[in-house]
Amino acid sequence: MDERVEDKILIADDESEIVRLLKRFMQSAGFKVYSAMDAQEAVAKTRDLRPDAVLLDIVMPGGGGIEALKEIKRIQPTTAVIMITAVVGDEMMHISLQAGADGYIRKPCALSELEETVRDAIKKYRQ
């Protein structure tokens, strides 16, 4: 009997198609997946669900991803937060990492790369 607990992941993005695609893929990879459509909802769901990881869009309504990242890390420092964005440029990556992000992925990305990044980030907090 498999006693493995599913890792919980929260996908926060204001593009419903992105959320649907990532949710389907991450569920097929064995994650328990939740979603949020804006930054405020992402913070509230982090507080309630205590996810193992959050995939957080940088540009979205409700305060934006960087502000949400800081608040998520304040309430749940052991939640891995991976920023996802279509914004090209290294400045936003540096800002995200300085604010506490555990990873940074540009859209579109290879789903296998995303899964590996999430698993590595979760593993970091379990060690």
Single out the residue of 9, 44, 68 nearest to residue 85, CA to CA: 68
Query: pLDDT: is 126 or 30 the higher one?
Result: 30
Q: Where are the beta strands (DSSP E) in 37-124?
A: 53-57, 80-85, 103-106
pLDDT in tens, 13-23: 999 999 999 99
pLDDT given for residue 1 in this prediction:
41
Question: What is the 8-class DSSP label of residue 4?
Answer: P
User: What is the pTM for the complete model shown?
Assistant: 0.91
Do the beta carbons of residue 40 and residue 15 sit within 8 Å? no
Do the beta carbons of residue 105 and residue 113 sit within 8 Å? yes
The phi and psi torsions of 84 (rounded to 5 degrees) equal -125, 140
Tokens of 28: 């097929």
pLDDT in tens, 50-90: 999 999 999 888 778 999 999 999 999 999 999 998 876 78
Rama region for 53: left / alpha / beta (φ>0; ψ in -120 to 50; rest):
beta
